[in-house]
Amino acid sequence: RKEVEQDPGPFNVPEGATVAFNCTYSNSASQSFFWYRQDCRKEPKLLMSVYSSGNEDGRFTAQLNRASQYISLLIRDSKLSDSATYLCVVTRSFYNQGGKLIFGQGTELSVKP
Partner 1 sequence: DADVTQTPRNRITKTGKRIMLECSQTKGHDRMYWYRQDPGLGLQLIYYSFDVKDINKGEISDGYSVSRQAQAKFSLSLESAIPNQTALYFCATRSGRGPNEQFFGPGTRLTVL
Residues at the contact surface with partner 1, assessed by CB under 8 A: 4, 32, 34, 41-46, 49, 87, 91, 96, 98-101, 103-106
CB of 103 to partner 1, least distance (A): 4
Q: With respect to partner 1, which residue has the nearer C-beta, 11 or 106?
A: 106
Nearer of residues 61 and 91 to partner 1, judged by Cβ: 91
Give the nearer residue to partner 1 in terms of CB position, either 64 or 87. Answer: 87
Closest among 76, 59, 79 to 15, alpha carbons compared:
79
Q: How far is the CB of 17 from partner 1 (least distance, A)?
A: 25
Query: Least separation, in Å, of the C-beta of 22 and partner 1?
Result: 15
C-alpha distances in Å from residue 102, one per residue of 28, 30, 35, 82, 88: 13, 9, 11, 23, 8
Beta-strand relationship, 70-75 and 60-65 = antiparallel
CB 59 to partner 1: min, Å: 21
